[in-house]
Structure 1
């Protein structure tokens, strides 16, 4: 089980770095988008800060996963992004669905494997010792 967690953590870290580093270094030309995906992408790019913010979170979380530092925080921080990537590929661009599914699975598995550490986050009432 421990080896599986390490493999999935590293896999997710690599995927996040592959998705974020080229964005900042402009290593690859932007793909020509069409239809709903172009409209969706234009909307994200209209908010000038949004894509750099998303890619910065991906970069930081990818580094955290690879270095095995702050994995609990990185797993929660990247969760909305992986859910959104999955949903975009479910409804708008199904050709990337497999990679999105792998990302979501890795992230959810990392969260599940550390569920004991998240119990206090899901407690409705704080204990009186705080």
Structure 2
């Protein structure tokens, strides 16, 4: 079970590192977007600091998520981004593939949060 957790966390971390780096380097092709999605991304572009901030959070959270000693912190850092991804896929891009992938990643994030709940006791109590 330990090796499965490591592999899932490694893949999770790499996906977020890749997504974060893409926000800075724009190396991945953009999928075809609807007019509503184009308006959303144009609005994000108007807020000049938003996408670099999300990209930095994705890179830092992804790196922390890979290593067992920092995984609990990475799971907390990446959680707000993960919630945004799930909500976006449910309401703005309801493709089956996007929902399945975001739900799977969200479940991995929740699993790691629950697995490390003892490390969070001082934060909430």
Shared fold by TM > 0.5? yes
User: CA shift at 1:63, angstroms?
Assistant: 1.7
Q: For residue 88 of structure 2, what is the aligned residue in structure 1?
A: 88
Superimposed CA distance per residue, residues 43-79 of structure 1 (whole angstroms, 9 cap, x where no aligned partner): 2222110011001110111122234452221111110
Shift of 1:91: 0.5
**Structure 1: which 5+ residue stretches go unaligned?**
124-130
Larger RCO: 1 or 2 (CA < 8 Å, sep 6+): 1
Shift of 1:97: 1.3
Report the Cα offset of residue 32 of structure 1: 4.0
Matches within 5 A, 1:1-130: 1-95=1-95, 96-123=98-125
* Stretches of structure 2 lacking an aligned partner (at least 5 in a row): none
Structure index of larger Rg: 1
- Aligned pairs, how many? 123
CA distance in structure 1 between the partners assigned to 2:46 and 2:24 by the alignment: 18
Runs of 4+ that moved beyond 4 A:
none
Provide the secondary structure at the position in 1 that maps to 2:48: coil
TM-score normalised per structure 2:
0.86
SS in 2 for 1:94: coil
